[in-house]
């Protein structure tokens, strides 16, 4: 199960709207925010692809400027890859195709 720490950069005047919107995301925890529009979150997902989809969803929220990865833990996913049980399809920074 990948666990990622992210910093969302949001328009400061939209912060409360963004916080309300992201409160509906499953397995997302807000750890803090400031008046400059930085929101610290942790996401948990079953696969790295699912996490990428959630990040894409976060980026589609009005007022969200960027979503920067601070850390990523995926030890159990790595073990599945090593056993040949899982093959990730990771973009590694590419923009999603429209």
Secondary structure (DSSP) of the chain: --EEEEEEEE-GGGHHHHHHHHTTSTTEEEEEE-TTSEEEEEEE-SSHHHHHHHHHHHHTSTTEEEEEEEEEE-HHHHHHHHTTS------TTPPPP-
Q: What is the pTM of this model?
A: 0.76
Q: What is the pLDDT of residue 82?
A: 74
Which two structure tokens, joined as six digits, stand for 67? 């979503």
Query: Could you give the angle at the alpha carbon of 71 between the alpha carbons of 81 and 30, nearest 5°?
Result: 115
Q: What is the CATH number of domain 3-82?
A: 3.30.70.920
Task: Give the pLDDT confidence of 49-94 residue by residue, as tens digits.
Answer: 888 899 999 999 999 999 999 988 876 766 777 777 767 666 555 5
Between 3 and 87, residue with greater pLDDT: 3
Domain boundaries of the chain, sorted by first residue: 3-82
Q: What is the pLDDT of residue 54?
A: 92
């Amino acid at each position: 199960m990948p666990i990622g720490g992210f910093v969302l950069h949001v328009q400061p005047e939209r912060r409360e709207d963004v916080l309300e919107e992201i409160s509906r995301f499953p397995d997302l925890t807000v750890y803090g925010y400031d008046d400059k529009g930085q929101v610290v979150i942790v996401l948990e997902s079953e696969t790295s692809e699912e996490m990428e989809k959630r990040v894409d969803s976060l980026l589609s929220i009005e007022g969200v400027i960027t979503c920067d990865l601070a850390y990523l833990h995926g030890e159990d996913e790595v073990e599945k890859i090593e056993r040949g049980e899982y093959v990730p399809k990771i973009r590694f920074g590419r923009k999603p195709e429209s």
